[in-house]
């Protein structure tokens, strides 16, 4: 299985390592021609404004938008969640997002870099053991559409959501050493 990882910024290597450990073939994506023959794509954490500008300058935004609209499965973590969301409540006026999952997010709403934290999440879809989630300048989900399934929450606030073949997380599962969210995503790609 070929899993593209948007390699413009962010935790590219950590996601690649996670998928390699699960038997998938990660492919760094930096140019539009690299989007062909992918089974899925990952939009990693990083800085969403910068990633948005890099998507434009690399001429990746429109071809990736088309692939996503055609049903390419996607995993978005932190900044990737922001880029995949239908509404970004505090983004730049000219910032584009892919709008493939019906959620509204607010950037950095869980706090600044110094407010980073870890939390054990109960995620029924991956088993009974808590998932060690790492939150770094994390976005907050402020609205969830009718077709979006909330897989995990903190204080009743969604932090892991799924809609069809799109999975988004406010946190960085690639930094936890726990492969269960990557595995959950791959299982959705295979089905």
CA atoms of 167 and 176, how far apart (whole Å): 17
Catalytic residues: 78, 172, 174
Q: How many CB atoms lie within 10 A of CB 120?
A: 11
Phi, psi angle pair for 151, to nearest 5°: -90, -25
Across the chain, which distance is largest between two alpha carbons, in Å?
43
For 111, the token pair is: 């706090």
Alpha helices, H only, 9-160 = 12-21, 48-57, 61-69, 79-84
In the chain, the DSSP E strands lie at: 2-6, 25-29, 40-43, 74-77, 85-88, 101-106, 117-121, 131-135, 140-144, 149-154, 157-163, 166-169
């Amino acid at each position: 299985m070929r899993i593209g990882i948007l390699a413009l910024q962010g935790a590219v290597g950590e996601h690649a390592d996670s998928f390699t450990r699960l038997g998938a073939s990660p492919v760094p994506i930096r140019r539009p021609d690299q989007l062909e023959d992918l089974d899925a794509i990952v939009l990693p954490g990083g800085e969403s404004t910068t990633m948005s500008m890099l998507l434009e300058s690399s001429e990746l935004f429109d071809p990736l938008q088309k692939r996503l609209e055609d049903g390419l499965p996607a995993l978005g973590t932190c900044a990737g969640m922001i880029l995949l969301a239908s509404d970004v409540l505090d983004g730049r006026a000219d910032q584009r997002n892919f709008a493939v999952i019906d959620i509204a997010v607010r950037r950095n709403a869980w706090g600044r870099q110094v407010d980073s934290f870890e939390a054990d999440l109960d995620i029924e879809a991956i088993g009974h053991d808590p998932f060690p989630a790492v939150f770094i300048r994390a976005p907050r989900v402020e609205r969830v559409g009718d077709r979006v399934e909330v897989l995990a929450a903190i204080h009743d606030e969604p932090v892991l959501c799924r809609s069809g073949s799109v999975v988004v997380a406010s946190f960085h599962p690639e930094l936890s050493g726990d492969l269960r969210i990557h595995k959950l995503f791959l299982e959705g790609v295979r089905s």
